[in-house]
Amino acid sequence: MPEIKIDRSLSYLEGTQRVYDEATTLENTKDQIKKIGVTRIADITNLDRLGIPIFSAIRPSAAPGAISIYSGKGSTEQRARISAIMESFERCLAERPGVNANIEGGISAPALVESYSNAQENCNVLDPNSLLLSQPFNPGSLLEWVGAYDLMNREEVFVNANAVYHPYDAPGQCQKLFLSNTNGLASGNVLEEAILHGLLEVIERDAISTAQFTRNLGKEIVLTEEDGYLYELARKFKDTGIDLKIWLVPTDTGIPTIIAATDDVKLKDPALLVMGAGSHLKPEIAIARAITEAAQSRVVQIQGAREDTDREGFIRSVGYDRMKRLNWFWFEEGEKISLSEVKDLSGKSPTENIDIILEQLKGLTEKVIVVDLSREEIAVPVVRVIIPGFELFTIDRDRKGQRITAGKKKEFTRDQNDKPWKRR
């Protein structure tokens, strides 16, 4: 695939981390959203008592195996609406040609069907093992490959199509390596924004995967009135009887990653023991994303409409008290820090932020791969970002790598009297 050229002339609007203002984004996507089959965008905020804006977008034409209802969140109604709209573009453009009911054209990247053994003799190909496979693959079996660009080494590389398209079914006699997912799938006002958002999502999933696996969520951020709208967002939880803990997750990337864990102590509903997460070079944006995603997770459970969440029935069968015990590390007391203690790494443009992230990733991975999934007929860029070796335990527990298994698990030490099976 041709080199992905980053536009260094772009800059953020003063005081923001956005290339365009929100009204412009909505105007630019107004006609485009119809082209991808979205029939309705709904405000579902009032399904929950929190009042944090949550929107959903409905796309009945989604490919078999994909979901057709997408959720968006934000600190304002406009941001939540944009969030749902942009997820719609991501999901649609991730569908491969032939199964996409709305878009006929394919991506510009070249395709290849060949075994790994043969492909690596003639092409620069990514070793499928670096994608954290749940089981060994046969290097001699046919695989489908998609052209991509390695930002770190500035070179073209072929990557397994299983890691690019979603949903994914291997064509013909090709081998399918794992269940596809949406990790690193991102859109933006411009290509550079999409790449940045994709990088941050992969970094976020890696960090929270390790935190969940090791049961070490890091340090607890305590917000004060000086933190402005973030404090007001957090107060919405407290004022409605919902406990909220905001964790700064330990990570070797140095990029602020946040988990917001919630417990509805009023309803004591185990399905509402949910979390949200966010990564961003600007800590306050990471916190806002985590808090609003936690609110979104609540609404998704209440709504029960998304096809990719079947946890509600199982969780409720387990019960509130047991689920709380199983997830004790979300709610334990942690070392307290303030938002001002978290370093702001953000730059003044998406390009500058991409450069900062690439610098932070040096020594942690050998490649940072981008596949451009944009289509000529859709004026919203979408990419898939892949960082080989980075963890995704939080979305696929069968796929674990060396980064996650290197950490030591934190164990919960209970008092003897807290073990009812040993009481006499």
Residue 261 inside a domain? The answer is: yes
Residues 6+ apart with CB under 8 A from 332: none
Residues 131 and 78 in one domain: no
Residues 61 and 94 in one domain: yes
Residues 130 and 388 sit within 8 Å (Cβ to Cβ)? yes
Residue 421 inside a domain? The answer is: no
Q: Output the pLDDT for position 405.
A: 85
How confident is the model over 347-363, as pLDDT tens digits?
A: 999 999 999 999 999 99
Total domains, the chain: 2
Residue 301 inside a domain? The answer is: yes
Residues 173 and 87 in one domain: no
Residues 249 and 283 sit within 8 Å (Cβ to Cβ)? no
Q: Output the pLDDT for position 422.
A: 39
Residues 197 and 279 in one domain: yes
Pick the last residue of a domain from 59, 84, 102.
Answer: 102
Residue 162 inside a domain? The answer is: yes
Please report, for the domain that includes residue 44, its CATH number: 3.30.160
Pick the last residue of a domain from 102, 123, 150.
Answer: 102
Q: Output the pLDDT for position 66.
A: 96
Residues 217 and 158 in one domain: yes
Instruction: Name the burial class of residue 105, with classes exposed (0-12), middle (13-18) and buried (19+) by CB atoms within 10 angstroms of its CB.
Output: exposed
**How far is it, in rounded angstroms, from Cα 292 to Cα 295?**
5
Residues 19 and 10 sit within 8 Å (Cβ to Cβ)? yes
**What are the pLDDT tens digits along the chain (424 aa)?**
568 989 999 999 999 999 999 999 999 999 999 999 999 999 999 999 999 999 999 999 999 999 999 999 999 999 999 999 999 999 999 999 889 999 999 999 999 999 999 999 999 999 999 999 999 999 999 999 999 999 999 999 999 999 999 999 999 999 999 999 999 999 999 999 999 999 999 999 999 999 999 999 999 999 999 999 999 999 999 999 999 999 999 999 999 999 999 999 999 999 999 999 999 999 999 999 999 999 999 999 998 755 555 666 677 788 999 999 999 999 999 899 999 999 999 999 999 999 999 999 999 999 999 999 999 999 999 999 999 999 999 999 999 999 998 867 777 654 434 443 333 3
Residue 335 inside a domain? The answer is: yes
Please report, for the domain that includes residue 151, its CATH number: 3.30.160.660
Residues 66 and 140 in one domain: no
Residues 6+ apart with CB under 8 A from 32: 89, 378, 379, 380
Residue 3 inside a domain? The answer is: no
Residues 85 and 122 in one domain: no
Residue 119 inside a domain? The answer is: yes
**Helix (H), strand (E), coil (C) string for the chain:** CCCCCCCCCCCCCCCCCCCCCHHHHHHHHCCHHHHCCCCEEEECHHHCCCCCCEEEEECCCCCCCCCCEEEEECCCHHHHHHHHHHHHHHHHHCCCCCCCCCCCCCCCCCEEEEEHHHHHHHCCECCHHHHCCCCCCCCCCEEEEEEEEECCCCEEEEEEHHHCCCCCCCCCCCCCCCCCCCCCEEECCCHHHHHHHHHHHHHHHHHHHHHHHHCCCCEEECCCHHHCHHHHHHHHHHHCCEEEEEEECCCCCCCCEEEEEEEECCCCCHHHCCEEEEECCCHHHHHHHHHHHHHHHHHHHHHCCCCCCCHHHHHHHHCHHHHHHHCHHHHCCCCEECHHHCCCCCCCCHHHHHHHHHHHHECCECCCEEEECCCCCCCCCEEEEECCCCCCCCCCCCCCCHHHHCCCCCCCCCCHHHCHHHCC
Residues 98 and 217 in one domain: no
The sign one gets for the Cα dihedral 269, 181, 201, 77 is negative
Residues 174 and 38 in one domain: no
Residues 49 and 119 in one domain: no
Residues 260 and 353 in one domain: yes
Q: What is this structure's pTM?
A: 0.94
Residue 393 inside a domain? The answer is: yes
Question: Domain residues for 34?
Answer: 20-102
Residues 63 and 144 in one domain: no
Q: Output the pLDDT for position 204.
A: 98
